[in-house]
A and B are shown apart, each in its own frame.
Chain A
């Protein structure tokens, strides 16, 4: 069964450093989502792509976060500089088309020290 892949699974970084996460959606899935999940809370949408275009990034802190999906396949989420409050699980999800079931990746657990 195809799954969404994410790497790294765990990342520890010092504040003010740059960090990047990678997501490879299920093959053929046009829609890709990045979420941030703080312990004990539900996922919060950061950015949504339709193919290579950003559909929604209204919740993305654009002063330090950036996301790209250059060829409409895999995607990278970057934080520069990282802050202590960025410590969270970063989840990627994909769906075949908008409005259909989202499949989540295993997530990247980020700890900023």
Chain B
């Protein structure tokens, strides 16, 4: 089955700096890669996703890049704000089936 690894497990940045979280996957058949943000005690919420037919996708301060050859994808948050503090999960899926999640990255933005 698919194996998704996520790094780092914890990340602290100063407000205004950028944050990068990386994930690798093992199954080359995976073709859908969402990123979720989970605040303490709340449900995971999709913040951005990318499909295997594109290499990069951007939404305001958030971007995701995908390298299919190397089987890794990354989340980039620019101009970080305290409200970006949360746990972020990456996931890999084949056509929306069998979602496999990473172990999460706890991001702290220091004001």
Q: Are A45 and B46 in contact (CB under 8 A)?
A: no
Which segment of B14-22, B37-45, B56-64, B71-79 sits at the interface?
B37-45
Q: Is the interface of A mostly helix, strand, loop or mixed?
A: loop
Contacts of A33 in B (CB 8 A): 99
A100 touches B98 (CB 8 A): no
Provided the pairs A101-B49, A102-B34 are in contact, do residues A95 and B96 lie with their beta carbons within 8 angstroms?
yes
State how many angstroms separate the Cβ of A97 from the closest Cβ of chain B: 8
Contact, CB under 8 Å: A100 / B96: yes
Q: Is the CB of A106 within 8 A of B97?
A: no
> Does B33 lie at the interface of the complex (its beta carbon under 8 Å from any beta carbon of A)?
no
CA distance A104 to B91 in the complex (A): 14
The number of residues on chain A lying at the interface, defined by a beta carbon within 8 Å of a beta carbon of chain B, is 25
Residues of A within 8 A of B36 (CB): 104
CB proximity of A36 to chain B, nearest CB, Å: 11
Secondary structure at chain B's binding surface: helix, strand, loop or mixed?
strand
* In the complex, chain B residues whose CB is within 8 Å of the CB of A106: 42-43
**How many residues on the B side are at the interface (Cβ–Cβ under 8 A)?**
24
Chain A: minimal CB distance from B23 (Å): 10
Q: With A91-B44, A101-B34, A101-B49 known to touch, is A42 a contact of B96 (CB < 8 Å)?
A: no
Residues of A91-109 at the interface with B, using a CB-CB cut-off of 8 Å, are 91, 95, 97-107
A44 at the interface (CB under 8 A from B): yes
| Neighbour of A105 across the interface among B32, B43, B102, CB < 8 A | B43
Is B96 a contact partner of A98 (Cβ separation < 8 A)?
A: yes
- Distance between Cα atoms of A101 and B44 in the complex (Å): 12
Chain A contact residues, CB within 8 Å of chain B: 4, 31, 33, 40-45, 48, 55-56, 91, 95, 97-107
What would 24 A/B residue contacts be, using CB atoms closer than 8 Å?
A31-B96, A33-B99, A42-B4, A42-B102, A43-B89, A43-B99, A43-B101, A55-B97, A56-B98, A91-B44, A95-B96, A98-B95, A98-B96, A98-B97, A99-B95, A99-B96, A99-B97, A101-B34, A101-B46, A102-B46, A104-B43, A104-B45, A105-B43, A106-B43
